[in-house]
Amino acid sequence: MRATASKVGLLSFCQWWARPEAQWSYTTSAAAERGTRFHSAIAKYLAGAEAAPEADIAEEYERAKEWIDSLGVSKARLGREIAFAWDPETDTSESLGHDTARDYSKGAGRLCGTADLVMLVMGDLEKTTKPVAAMVWDWKTGSGEGAGPQLRALGLMVARAYDVEQVTVAALEVRASGVTEVAREDLDSFALASIAGELAEQLAAVRNATPLPGSHCGELYCPARLACPAGTEATAQVVDLIPAEQLVRRTEWRITDPVKTAEQAIWTVDVLRLMGAWIDAKKDEIKGKVPADGWVADDGRVLREGECEKSAFDKHKALALCKQLGATPEQIASLNYTFKASTGLRVSGGNTKPRARRGKAA
């Protein structure tokens, strides 16, 4: 089974990506790599070995250690990086043991997931050694607000594996300032049964699923978004709508081909800019047609133009206030700092027309 607990949120919007024939594109980022290093370091601490984390995660590592110690229980009671496999047909779950590599080869077609931290709540030890409840936490070096679907799936797996009917799940946002518990839920037997039913329905729908594009494609990091038939077909339509003389088509390259040379990369950047301009124009056309109270489709979906308020820091007002409060020119000058930032891809040299310099308005 291709779906895992970390992707059940995406599964609730679209099931096509989990089909065996769907092509996945694996990408990573500096933030993801940083999170992986943090998980590895804190797992070592839970195992009883002090880690030596890199400088960029050292503060988060220390705050996480403090949070673990504040629980007031032996680290031996805290299960770390435990993998589970849940069978939707039998609603049963099995612990696959420690799995820091997220290798689910033992899953045998079941829905798998890894709980970062598990604590079993034991009953009366004189009468029974059976746990009566469980706690499940998931470390997040980014935002944990959207972790609900993943946490509920992990809660179900833990409940079925240890035969408990009460599970509390939560995400642990780790910052240099401390650890914050978010997306906390208390799941009883009824909630767990409902989660099991929803997951079973979604997994059963994978076999005959068709692509359902939406904001979830990017926001929930669909692994098949670059090869999705809905997206590739739409891309082909956009390219076909742009006049050939604008594209300066080159028969030896296609926009979907892997980039191998500088010439191909430059051509691809230019074509993407044209496609982007067409897409922006189409968005403007749609915005002009959407009523103030939304545009309702036959199936009940509603399209609205969202609005949000953003606050901006006024540099000139801040400098004026500094002067009013008596700051010296040297103190004001010390506020300046330089940094490097990407300005996007640019083409220069060869037959490329030089970019016009932007002058200040008189």
209 within domain boundaries: no
Asked whether 68 and 137 are in contact (CB, 8 A), the reply is no
258 inside domain: yes
In-domain check, residue 151: yes
* pLDDT-derived band at 356, boundaries 50, 70, 90: very low
Q: Assess if residue 80 is contained within a domain.
A: yes
312 membership: H or E segment, kind and range: none
- Domain carrying residue 255: 228-287
Q: Which of 287, 317, 338 is the last residue of a domain?
A: 287
Tokens read off for 300: 């009940």
- 235 within some domain: yes
193 and 74 belong to one structural domain: yes
Phi (first) and psi of residue 329, to 5 degrees? -55, -35
Is 143 in the same domain as 234? no
Q: 23-38, pLDDT tens digit by residue? A: 888 777 888 899 999 9
- What whole-number distance in Å separates Cα of residue 247 and Cα of residue 239? 8
Q: Tell me how far apart the alpha carbons of residues 243 and 193 are, in angstroms, rounded to a whole number.
A: 55
Which positions ≥6 away from 53 have C-beta within 8 Å?
A: 37, 38, 41, 61
Instruction: Tell which of 256, 287, 318 closes a domain.
Output: 287
Residues 116 and 191 reside in one and the same domain = yes
Q: What pTM did the predictor assign?
A: 0.72
- Dump strand ranges (E) for the chain: 78-87, 92-98, 111-122, 131-140, 167-175, 178-187, 295-296, 302-303
* Burial grade of 148 (CB within 10 A; 0-12, 13-18, 19 or more): middle
Average pLDDT, the chain: 85
**Domain boundary at 287, 320, 354, which?**
287
In a domain, 101, yes or no: yes
- Chain segment 220-233, per-residue pLDDT in tens: 888 998 888 887 77
C-beta neighbour count of 36 within 10 angstroms: 14
**The CATH number of the domain where 38 resides is what?**
3.90.320
The position carrying tokens 């770390």 is 80
- 201: enclosing H helix or E strand: helix 189-204
Q: Are 172 and 179 in contact (CB under 8 A)?
A: yes
Angle (deg, nearest 10), helices 148-162 and 189-204: 110
Q: Tell me, yes or no, whether 28 and 97 share the same domain.
A: yes
Number of domains in the chain: 2
Please report which confidence band the pLDDT of residue 250 belongs to, taking 50, 70 and 90 as the band edges: low
Is residue 214 assigned to a domain? no
Q: 189 with 47, same domain? A: yes
